[in-house]
Amino acid sequence: MSATMSHNLALTEAVRTAVSSVHDPEYPGVSIAELGLIEAIRLEGSTAYVDLIPTYGGCPALDFIATDVRNAVTFVQGVTKAEVRWLRAPIWSQDRVAPHVIQFLEREFTVTLRRSDGSLVCPVCGSGTVRDTSPMGPSRCRSLAYCDDCRNPIEVMR
């Protein structure tokens, strides 16, 4: 491997570390890496290209995340510019999130994630009889559902 190639690899890893340190403004304590938003990172010269996957296209937090990513990457020595792209595909799903992160979201924010088959499980009692009640949650990035078993309102991340 040439010196340039290994330098590029090291720099790409440094960019990945910087991007991974960015937290989702909706969920303090949870990084965008843990949420599975990072799809690809590549370097061309001193420009870093960061491809991200949105949880929900209409979520205003996406703008904040992109700004935070650009800021974090410019602290990496050897990188002068970061281009952030929000991809339309693949579609984000709960499968991209580690189980311990899902448990943290449920415990800290009483927020649950829709399974890839579209179903919901109550984060309070574990029941599967959760129904969607309103697309309008406390923020545009969350919708509301209701658990018929424990009669708790549930927030659903989207």
Q: State the residues that interact with Zn ion by CB under 5 A.
A: 122, 124-125, 127, 147, 149-150
Shortest separation between residue 145's beta carbon and Zn ion, angstroms? 10
Residues in CB range of 112: below 8 A, 6 or more apart: 102, 105, 106, 120, 121, 122, 123, 130, 145, 154, 155, 156, 157
Shortest approach of Zn ion to residue 115 CB, angstroms? 15
- DSSP codes joined into one string, 47-73: EEEEEE--S-TT-THHHHHHHHHHHHH
| Residue 12 or 110 with smaller CB distance to Zn ion | 110
State the amino acid at position 128 in one-letter form. Answer: G
In whole angstroms, the minimum distance from the beta carbon of 124 to Zn ion comes to 4
Q: Which CB atom, from 10 or from 125, has the smaller least distance to Zn ion?
A: 125
Residue 72 or 145 with smaller CB distance to Zn ion: 145
